[in-house]
Structure formats: structure tokens, C-alpha cells
Amino acid sequence: MIHFGHISKQQFLEEYWQKKPLLIKNALPSFISPLSPDELAGLSCEEEFESRIVTGSISTKTWSLEGGPFDENTFKELPDREWTLLVQGVDRYINEVHQLISEFDFIPRWRFDDVMISFAALGGSVGPHYDHYDVFLLQGLGRRRWVTSSIDCNPKNYLQNTPLRIMKNFIKESAWEAEPGDIVYIPPKIAHHGVSLDDECITLSIGYRSYLSNEMLDSLELPNNTNGTYFEDPAWEVNLHPAEIPQAAIEQSQKLLDIKELPESFFGCFATKLDPEDEKKFNEVMAYQNKEEIEESSLYRLHPICRVAYQLTKKKLMVFINGEVFDCSNIDYDLVIDFANSRQLRLNNKNRALAERLISLSLIEKST
């Protein structure tokens, strides 16, 4: 788990999460980037990965954006400085990156989106911008200067005629230098601008989903609001199980949508639903995965693409995987809850029925 230094985890959740940015020095001591610059460039040349290259800077006021997949010639033609390569969803394919997510499980895992990894040459940047989601920016290689601001974060404050959403007016409020193992936390609607201070700079962005009220209303087949608003997390408990959906989250969604009562399975299905790209990838997994015989004492893990959550109401357990209610009838609740929180199980006589049900749906794979 992350080392918060002079503040406690409870303080972070109460004072910073979704409220204000924070530099966490030496958050993961001795951290080494799981990918080298060449390995990241290699991923960007493959069809499976969504990748982009951004070239430009604030000083030149000229920005360009190119989408992958790329090839070797792309990188040979790049300038020596002021460019950034971004590769999305690396956690879906690289086990070391996927395992890293558990360091952040003091935030409910069903809130997690993906890990994007960026490489930047000296001066590389994607410009000052803000988002509607939470992100932990983990420095993996080199140094990056981060500047943050809560001023003028509105849809009208963007440069015109650029391929990126870059803020026109960006007024500095705080500035930090991040080194390997440091983390910068950025909450929703806080502008941030990161610039590489070295020839080789790698940053891992651990991002969390944003829930727009209109998307939730669409799922309920209800009319949209004209002013779409975003879900705000309730106060998280420090020892919350990572896959658990507390009643406070459901109540928060009712408040957001101004609905007195939601269908019992709605929030869990909505929170675990795969986005279209992940759904496409998982359908391919289901189509091509061999249904092998499960092996006694072997370790099985939930497929990295999958999302799982559960809620307990009046001693009733409901489990959600990939936007659907998972049938856990005739299976010990404790076994299911343990699997949902750990995302893995070691096969034995007690959990065999659960393992067989999961593998029949291509939800788990043997750990290598």
C-alpha cells in the first residue's frame, strides 16, 4: 500500500480525495518502472493498444496529435524534445502493471478505470488541462514538473483549433517536482500540467472512472437532465473491502439522480459494466479461450479486463461481474466475497463449484 508520509490514509480520504491535489513523496519506495521506454514504444506498435503521440509545448503554442499503432519510422522521425507517447489500458495485458493496482485498493476497486503509461522526451507535455475523474500520477523514470490550478476550470477556457483540450488561461497555484516512486494525486476538475525535466520520463496514470448522471439515466431508460452532473463519492471507510459497494454509494447515486428508489441491481451493474472497447476485447477472450480442466491447488485470477463488485443488503449477497448479476446460488458467501476482494482463488474442494462457474464464463484464467 502507498506510504502517505506525514499524513494518514484516513486524512487523505477525508481531506484530499475528490477535494484537492497532493504530492506524496516516496509513496512507493524503490519503485522501478515495469516497462522501459523501448518496451512502451513496442506496445504502441501493436493493434491491441490505444496509443497517441502529442508534440508541442506552451512556448510554441503549436500542438499536434497522432494516433497509433505506430512503427519504427514514427519514432525515428520525432524531434529530440517536446513530445509525449501515451499508451492506454496497459494493465489489461502486462501483469506487472495489473498487480500494481492493488497498491491503491484503499479506494474501491470497482471505481478503477485503467492504467495509462506515458513516455516524454525533455520538455514533453500534453498541455494544461482538467478532467472529471480522479488520477494518481506515479513517476516511474526521470523527473516531471507538475503545476496545478483550480482556477478557470470550465469548458469555455480552451484553446481553439487545436486537436487537444488545452486550457487557454492556466494560472499556477502549486508546483511540484516528481521523482521515481513519488505520486501526484489529482482530483476531478483540478487543472494540471506535467512537463518532463529529463530526456527520458515515464509516468503511470492510475485513473478512476467518472459517472455522469445522464449515463446513469440512460441505463435506467429515463429522460436525461439538461445539466448533466457527476457522481461524487461518499466518505470512504479506511478498511472498506475493495470490491464492496457500501449502502452510502447507492444512496449517493439516488441523490444524484433525484430518485427515491433504484432497482436493487442497478448500481452494481452500472459500476461494473465494461466500456465498448473492453467489451469487444472480452468477447474475443470468450470466443478463443480454451475451456481447460481446472487443476487442484492451482491459482486462478480474475481476467484483467473484468470488473467485479458486490453488495450486502439484509444479509443478502449480490455479486456483479461485467455489468451483470453473477449467479452465486449454492456457493458459500464467504468464498464468493473473498474471491471478489482478492480477485483470485486457489482451487480446492471448498471453492471448486465457484471456480467451475467462473471458468465456464471465461472470467478467470490460470496464473502463470
Q: Which of the pair, 368 or 131, is modelled with greater confidence?
A: 131
Provide the residue ranges of all domains of the chain, joining segments of one domain with +.
9-208, 212-368
C-alpha cell at position 109: 476497486
Q: How many residues does the chain have?
A: 368
Residue that has been written with the C-alpha cell 492510475 in this structure: 206
pLDDT by residue (tens digit) across 75-121?
999 999 999 999 999 999 999 999 999 999 999 999 999 999 999 99
Signed CA dihedral, 212, 192, 139, 79: sign only: positive
pLDDT of 291 reads 66
User: Is 2.40.128 the CATH classification of the domain at 212-368?
Assistant: no
pLDDT by residue (tens digit) across 148-184?
999 999 999 999 989 999 999 999 999 999 999 999 9
pLDDT of 237 reads 87
Give the list of residues 6+ apart from residue 65 with CB closer than 8 angstroms, or none.
Answer: 52, 53, 54, 163, 164
Read off the pTM: 0.96
Give the list of residues 6+ apart from residue 202 with CB closer than 8 angstroms, or none.
Answer: 33, 35, 37, 40, 117, 118, 119, 120, 139, 140, 141, 142
Mean pLDDT of 52-58: 96
pLDDT by residue (tens digit) across 275-287?
999 999 999 888 8
Residue that has been written with the C-alpha cell 449515463 in this structure: 215
pLDDT of 193 reads 98
Burial profile 95-122: b = 16 or more Cβ within 10 angstroms, e = fewer: eebbebbebbbbbbbbbbbbbbbbbbbb
Bridge partners (DSSP) listed for residue 67:
52
Residue 134: HSE in the Cβ half-sphere, 13 Å Cα cutoff: 23
**Per-residue pLDDT for 324 more than 80?**
yes
pLDDT by residue (tens digit) across 281-314?
999 888 877 666 788 889 999 999 999 999 998 7
pLDDT of 139 reads 98
Domain 9-208 carries which CATH code?
2.60.120.650
pLDDT by residue (tens digit) across 222-240?
998 767 899 999 999 888 8
pLDDT by residue (tens digit) across 239-272?
889 999 999 999 999 999 999 899 999 999 999 9
